Structure 1
């Protein structure tokens, strides 16, 4: 009998420890093409405008199992031609991706995902690459819900990012490195899990964030090899189903200012399985 009591108490203590170890779940903003480390059913329309162009894109991701998904990406660009009245416009190439979860540590709020990609040259050659490209990204996200009570004010913060490589499959070699790092702070998480009632109702779905983007061609025959550096302060309104994201992309160096010092970017996204649960079906459980 004593042994049974000891086992029951130990089980209760172990359960309590596990509950404390797993911080509340949270949603991450991702970036302006809707791509982040989370495997999800997601559809987004995004775009932007700067001095020489405006552009829109569509991103669709569909889960095939609890830790994998397929995605497609296509865009449309309108380029202003210097010294000409007419603009050049057309669809970009079709991008395909396979996202697979490598590591998930719920107690630490950490997710690591790999995302091999393939770009097919089906777009308008006036605005798109004419050769197929292949590459991939390594994506991560880290929440801070596991911080001690003395740092509770930082628990709503999150960090996420990716690093990728892409190269031509045919034609002259043309390699591209890219990386993104984002810091965000969820007001909804703050109100729900840190300081109840501290955020007015109208502000609880807001997540301000700051993105740092890097891109650089390593061996392009007609592109600058200087790094392209951009900083994007933005704010997202998001809940379990919808996301609206608005930001200003600021050029940090000469290589990134060719299309203007500032671009305005936006995104409208939806987790479509929240609206139609049947669309969350996974062929490989």
Structure 2
């Protein structure tokens, strides 16, 4: 699940981008293999395991905080077109200037329900819809986990350019994926009460929980597709397994923004994925788009296992229905 979240700043009022477990699915449509991506989720519905996903970056808080995450996510198909995923993240927060204490703990548990609604092999197009639920109160408050649920209905899509004419054959390995979600907090605001140390009077501080548009996309160039469906250039086999890509992972508060503001935050993530028949390894840079998104370039990396290829008649088989064609990037390309 590309489960990236935009949260209120843990140490101040700035908004910090917190990438969690990233993408969780891969998909084959015609000759097109859509890999699991790290910044956003892709439209795939498969049995898969992302373990581990690790990242490190400085948040946009004032003062900034060094955040490191280790996460895992398991996706299980109920039917061939419907899957449920479960994810968790452990966060390490370390202050840069030591003026505030650090903190460690789990983020809230996440569950995503995803259904593939359309698939067109001829034009290498696929679309899915989903609902992600962040279960409030299952994580540690010290690392920013909210005490209330957040619900995010989302649309996912993927389009390969393999249907371009011969004149543009060099563009056929290109694919575009994207997602648009709307995060709805289960609570509109939280009011905290305290005592003013100077006057002894009761004080109240209200934080409004914004509704956030989570959106982004990827541009990919598939070397496996180039070799198998366009032209074999005789490149080393390692190169033929690479998919260079650039991701954009963005969040825009759009409602109930009195205390959060409306600035868009997020990262641009250039990177590369190496794909095999049963797993992939990916690494990307995390480049903040503005000061609110972070204060330096971070990184994210992931090992992703294709359970439906590893054990198509066991753990990789849908609960209802028979085993389906393994979704190997090379079996059908």
Question: Do these two structures clear the TM 0.5 threshold for a shared fold by scoring above it?
Answer: yes
Deviations 1:135-185 (A, max 9, x none): 221000011111111111111110001010111113514312111110000
Q: Tell me, in whole angstroms, the C-alpha distance in 2 between the residues paired with 1:24 and 1:199.
A: 24
Q: Tell me, in whole angstroms, the C-alpha distance in 1 between the residues paired with 2:171 and 2:249.
A: 23
Gap change, CA 1:58 and 1:224, over 3 Å in 2: farther
The one of 126, 145, 149 equivalent to 2:142 is: 126
Q: Which residue of 1 aligns with 2:43?
A: 37
Task: Return the offset for 1:24.
Answer: 4.7
Q: Which residue of 2 aligns with 1:235?
A: 272
Q: Which residue of 2 aligns with 1:49?
A: 56
Q: Which residue of 2 aligns with 1:210?
A: 246
The one of 272, 281, 293 equivalent to 1:256 is: 293
Q: Which residue of 2 aligns with 1:148?
A: 165
The one of 79, 83, 91 equivalent to 2:93 is: 79
Alignment TM-score, normalising by the size of structure 1 = 0.86
The structure with the largest helix share of the pair is: 1
Give the gaps of 5 or more residues in structure 1: 1-22
The structure with the largest strand share of the pair is: 2
Q: Tell me, in whole angstroms, the C-alpha distance in 2 between the residues paired with 1:34 and 1:174.
A: 20
- Would you say the 8 A contact 1:104–1:110 is kept in 2? yes
Q: Tell me, in whole angstroms, the C-alpha distance in 2 between the residues paired with 1:40 and 1:204.
A: 24
Task: Return the offset for 1:34.
Answer: 7.6
Confirm whether residue 157 of structure 1 aligns to residue 174 of structure 2. Answer: yes
Q: Which residue of 1 aligns with 2:77?
A: 63
The one of 246, 250, 254 equivalent to 2:283 is: 246
Q: Which residue of 2 aligns with 1:113?
A: 128
Deviations 1:61-106 (A, max 9, x none): 1111111100111111111234347420100001111100111111
- Would you say the 8 A contact 1:33–1:59 is kept in 2? no
Q: Of the two, which has the highest radius of gyration?
A: 1
**SS class of match (1:31):** coil
Q: Tell me, in whole angstroms, the C-alpha distance in 1 between the residues paired with 2:117 and 2:89.
A: 28
The one of 172, 177, 185 equivalent to 2:213 is: 177
Confirm whether residue 104 of structure 1 aligns to residue 119 of structure 2. Answer: yes
Q: Which residue of 2 aligns with 1:284?
A: 320
**SS class of match (1:139):** strand
Task: Return the offset for 1:33.
Answer: 6.3
- Would you say the 8 A contact 2:175–2:219 is kept in 1? yes
- Would you say the 8 A contact 2:40–2:217 is kept in 1? no
Q: CA RMSD in A?
A: 2.0
- Would you say the 8 A contact 2:91–2:105 is kept in 1? yes
- Would you say the 8 A contact 1:184–1:207 is kept in 2? yes
Q: Which residue of 2 aligns with 1:137?
A: 154
Q: Which residue of 2 aligns with 1:194?
A: 230
Alignment TM-score, normalising by the size of structure 2 = 0.74
Q: Tell me, in whole angstroms, the C-alpha distance in 1 between the residues paired with 2:40 and 2:219.
A: 16
**SS class of match (1:130):** coil
Gap change, CA 1:85 and 1:255, over 3 Å in 2: closer
Give the gaps of 5 or more residues in structure 2: 1-28, 59-65, 190-208, 322-333
Q: Tell me, in whole angstroms, the C-alpha distance in 2 between the residues paired with 1:160 and 1:46.
A: 20
- How many residues are aligned here? 262
